Amino acid sequence: MKTIEAGVLADRPVSEAVLDEAIRRGQVRHKSGLQATAVTFLEPCLAVSFIDGSGVLLPVEHYPEFDDFDVEDFAGLKVGFSGTALCHEGKDLQVSIAGMISASKPLMDMAASVIASRNGRQSSAAKAEAARANGRKGGRPRKPDVPV
């Protein structure tokens, strides 16, 4: 997992416009769906629980950020950044939950399968109209019999 330096300067003045923009971005992020509520260390994994009651187990051995953690350090992990990151104040660590999940090939393969299944069930307005038009004509035209 790569390390990303913070790009926002904390010492810039806060105006009404900056505050309104921050509130708007927070509302968009809140609606994005990824909102963890708790993290628990169940050796050898971190159990991350989400707002809908679902959860995921992430083996800490796959994440170098936790190499210097002791069992007591895992007790200090908290969910932060509106449920999108795991934070440890003493270790000055903030790790994106989405980034941790995306680092797992099996989880990403499962997510791709779920998304493909969901997208395959969707029908656009144009597709629905074409199906109705074909239905009015008696259904899909048969392929002509071509001698082989």
How much is the average pLDDT of 13-23?
Answer: 85
Q: What are the structure tokens assigned to 103, written together?
A: 């680092």
Same domain, residue pair 85 and 129 = no
Domain count, the chain: 2
Same domain, residue pair 28 and 54 = yes
pLDDT at residue 39 is higher than 90 = yes
Same domain, residue pair 54 and 125 = no
Residue 28 lies in a domain: yes
Q: Which amino acid is at 117?
A: S
Residue 8 lies in a domain: no
Residue 55 lies in a domain: yes
Q: Among 15-19, 98-102, 136-140, whose mean pLDDT is lowest?
A: 136-140
Same domain, residue pair 38 and 111 = no
| Residue 31, helix vs strand vs coil | helix
Whole-structure pTM value: 0.60
Query: Domain range for residue 110?
Result: 104-137
Residue 147 lies in a domain: no
pLDDT at residue 76 is higher than 70 = yes
For 77, other C-beta atoms within 10 Å of its C-beta total: 22
pLDDT at residue 29 is higher than 70 = no
| Distance, CA of 58 to CA of 30 (rounded, Å) | 23
Q: In what order do the strands lie in the sheet with 36-42?
A: 36-42, 45-50, 55-59
Instruction: State the average pLDDT for the chain.
Output: 85
Same domain, residue pair 62 and 81 = yes
Residue 61 lies in a domain: yes
Residue 92 lies in a domain: yes
Same domain, residue pair 37 and 93 = yes
